[in-house]
Structure 1
Amino acid sequence: MYTMKATLFVLACLLVLFTATSPAVDSKYYSGSRTIKAPTTLRKTQLHFFLHDTISGNNPSSVLIAKPKGTVVQQGDINPFGTVYVFDDPLTEGPGMNSKVIGNARGLYASTSRGSDLTLLFNGDFEFTSGEFNGSSISVFSRDPLVVSKEVAVVGGRGKFRMAQGFILLNAVFFNATLGDAILECHVTIFH
């Protein structure tokens, strides 16, 4: 008859045996693609608008919420590695601040590059508050290199853009490197 100690010992040995052996895993980076039938009811929508990101002044649309600890911040460096901003940026029909507001981009971005290739992680919801897409939004989650022209990924949406996929081509029409203020032209292509 087994004692409690002997039973615990057997269970411990079995646990070690099962965790020490692992199943075979396919560790290739790429193992091939296959074609699947996609719904034929996808619509393609293209949008064009401007995003105003203002860090300076008395009424900024982007606010610093976290600074890097243990990182030397150079004077004039608004995005050192580890900084995090939240934003509530207006979306407008034209590049001017007096242009008609059609929505807001809300979210956060964080500086994720330690090298000379300044890069942000951009996470935002672009909600439209007027026109045909009033109440709908597109969701962006993407790497955002700090260059004049770039592409970010649309990974979802709400309302008329539910389950959206696509991309936004961003072009800086204005950028103040000292203050960090920018106006970005957005050419959006989404499938939904």
Structure 2
Amino acid sequence: MALLSSSPFSSILIILCIFSSIFLTLVTAKVDGGYAQSFDPEELGMKKEKFSHFRFYWHDIVSGSNPTSVTVVHPPSNSSTFGQINMIDNPLTEGPNLTSKLIGKAQGFYGSASQEGIGLIMVMNFAFMEGKYNGSTITVLGRNMIFTKIREMAVIGGTGVLRFARGYAQASTYYANFTTRDAIVEYNCYVVHY
């Protein structure tokens, strides 16, 4: 053994052992490229997934002295609404009447994205202000052909107790006034979340 400790072979062997340890540590680590890391969802407190159904009414108020939907980009032509974009901060209520319990706000925008018919692209967060969902959001993105009885859009995310939300939202018009352009839409959201 004394012969190994004094030979160049022992130094090489020690260096190889050190490099092998470092290599094995890097290979078995959970780090992917230095900027991302894999982990067990339970480490973030995410246990079993839940399936939830949310039903509420979306009030798009364009008219009056305090609108909740305002045009921020006007269409380039007077003959069509194509290209128009509205920013929204619409009330979400439990019932169809604006005086029913306020449960949140729909914040985002919609734009007229169809040259044939009235088809909107909807980009909005349903920000809840009531109950155990207070402070949580559901993010919706999709196509809304407003003259179709039931329209379906994707739920692409969420925050708070609705983190990692995914699913779909169905919209159906409860009331529409084509003179004032005010509308009440019933939303049913089916969401899988932790």
Q: Does the TM-score normalized on the shorter chain lie above 0.5? A: yes
TM range, normalised to the smaller chain?
0.7 to 0.9
SS of 2:115 mapped into structure 1: coil
CA deviations 1:35-73 (Å, max 9, x no partner) are xxxx9932101111111111011111000000122x2x1
SS of 2:161 mapped into structure 1: helix
Residue in 1 aligned with 2:51?
A: 44
Show the 5 A alignment for 1:150-169: 150-169=151-170
TM-score under structure 1 length normalisation = 0.73
The 1:82–1:53 alpha-carbon spacing in structure 2 relative to 1, beyond 3 Å, is same
The CA distance in 2 between the partners of 1:128 and 1:150, in whole Å, is: 22
Residue in 1 aligned with 2:138?
A: 138
Residue in 2 aligned with 1:128?
A: 128
Residue in 1 aligned with 2:177?
A: 176
The CA distance in 1 between the partners of 2:188 and 2:84, in whole Å, is: 27
The CA distance in 2 between the partners of 1:180 and 1:166, in whole Å, is: 29
The CA distance in 1 between the partners of 2:187 and 2:122, in whole Å, is: 14
Segments ≥4 residues shifted beyond 6 Å: none
The CA distance in 2 between the partners of 1:40 and 1:143, in whole Å, is: 33
Show the 5 A alignment for 1:1-192: 41-69=48-76, 71=77, 73-74=78-79, 80-115=81-116, 117-147=117-147, 148-192=149-193
Q: Percent identity?
A: 37
What letter corresponds to residue 56 of structure 1 in structure 2? S
The CA distance in 1 between the partners of 2:174 and 2:94, in whole Å, is: 14
| TM-fit CA distance, 1:167 | 0.9
CA deviations 1:129-164 (Å, max 9, x no partner) are 011210101001111111232111110010011111
SS of 2:132 mapped into structure 1: helix
Q: Which runs of 5+ in 2 are unaligned?
A: 1-45
The CA distance in 2 between the partners of 1:113 and 1:151, in whole Å, is: 16
SS of 1:132 mapped into structure 2: helix
What letter corresponds to residue 82 of structure 1 in structure 2? G
Q: How many residues align?
A: 147
The CA distance in 1 between the partners of 2:142 and 2:68, in whole Å, is: 20
Q: Which runs of 5+ in 1 are unaligned?
A: 1-38
CA deviations 1:107-142 (Å, max 9, x no partner) are 001101111x32111000001001121010100111
SS of 1:104 mapped into structure 2: strand
TM-score under structure 2 length normalisation = 0.72
